[in-house]
């Protein structure tokens, strides 16, 4: 059935839009086919893997902070669980954060917040080290060769035999 012959679209006055079935067909590059091509592209799969690995890395860092970093800090602050530190705003006395939450009391959970801040700093530092290493590898790959030189005006790398810089268009003397 062609788009102009679809009785439902004709009745609605939308025959000029074409059949929705034609949009979903894989033949002819319909929407579903285009989406499949997009989803199976290498960059999309790389991003999905990165998100999954990032989530797992976040759980590992959270465990590192709550199970390795914070217990010694809690020991230094008086043998207490740091994630159990809170300020009670309700006026009733509660021994633990779990008791206060169970009673529905308003609390400021500064211990949990400190754990989250430590998590953030450790993840940020790990990402910084990763980006730093990637940048270092990129610099090594773009090392200037004898066939290039630096433009004296914009300091971009240009061919040694160039008489004009392709970046700033300044006239330069060939080497």
Looking up residue 97, the CATH number of its domain turns out to be 1.10.1200.120
- Same-domain pairing of 110 and 127: yes
- Same-domain pairing of 47 and 128: yes
- Same-domain pairing of 52 and 85: yes
- Same-domain pairing of 103 and 137: yes
- Same-domain pairing of 69 and 99: yes
Number of domains in the chain: 3
- Same-domain pairing of 150 and 133: no
Query: Does this model's pTM top 0.75?
Result: no
- Same-domain pairing of 12 and 83: no
pLDDT of residue 26: 47
Residue-range definition of the domain harbouring residue 133: 42-141
Rounded-to-integer distance, Cα 138 and Cα 132, Å: 10
- Same-domain pairing of 49 and 134: yes
2-52 pLDDT, tens digit per residue, is 545 677 777 777 766 666 655 555 455 567 777 777 777 767 777 888 899
- Same-domain pairing of 123 and 56: yes
- Same-domain pairing of 130 and 163: no
- Same-domain pairing of 47 and 112: yes
Q: Contact, 110 vs 85, CB < 8 A? A: yes
pLDDT of residue 135: 85
User: What are the contacts of 126-135 at 24+ separation with CB within 8 A?
Assistant: 126/57, 126/61
pLDDT in tens, the chain (175 residues): 454 567 777 777 776 666 665 555 545 556 777 777 777 776 777 788 889 988 898 888 888 888 888 888 878 877 677 778 899 998 889 988 889 999 999 999 998 898 888 888 888 888 888 889 888 888 776 555 578 888 999 998 898 888 899 989 999 987 6
If you write DSSP's letter for every residue of 76-141 in order, what string do you get? Answer: HTTS--GGG--EE-SSS--SSHHHHHHTT--EE-HHHHHHHHHHHHHHHHHHHHHHHHHHHHHHHH
Give the number of other CB atoms < 10 A from CB of residue 86: 19
pLDDT of residue 99: 92
- Same-domain pairing of 63 and 119: yes
Rounded-to-integer distance, Cα 126 and Cα 147, Å: 37
Q: Contact, 108 vs 135, CB < 8 A? A: no
pLDDT of residue 3: 46
pLDDT of residue 103: 92
């Amino acid at each position: 059935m062609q788009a102009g012959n679809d009785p439902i679209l004709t009745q609605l006055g939308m025959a000029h839009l074409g059949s929705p079935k034609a949009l979903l067909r894989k033949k002819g590059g319909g929407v579903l086919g285009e989406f499949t091509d997009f989803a199976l592209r290498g960059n999309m799969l790389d991003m999905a893997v990165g998100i999954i690995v990032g989530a797992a890395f976040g759980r590992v860092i959270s465990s590192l902070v709550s199970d390795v970093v914070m217990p010694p800090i809690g020991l230094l602050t008086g043998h207490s669980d740091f994630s159990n530190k809170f300020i009670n705003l309700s006026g009733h006395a509660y021994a633990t954060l779990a008791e206060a939450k169970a009673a529905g009391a308003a609390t400021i959970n500064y211990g949990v917040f400190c754990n989250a801040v430590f998590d953030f700093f450790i993840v940020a530092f790990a990402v910084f080290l990763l980006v730093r290493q990637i940048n270092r590898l990129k610099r090594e790959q773009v090392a200037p060769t004898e066939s290039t030189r630096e433009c004296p005006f914009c300091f971009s790398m240009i061919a040694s035999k160039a008489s004009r810089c392709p970046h700033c268009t300044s006239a330069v003397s060939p080497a």
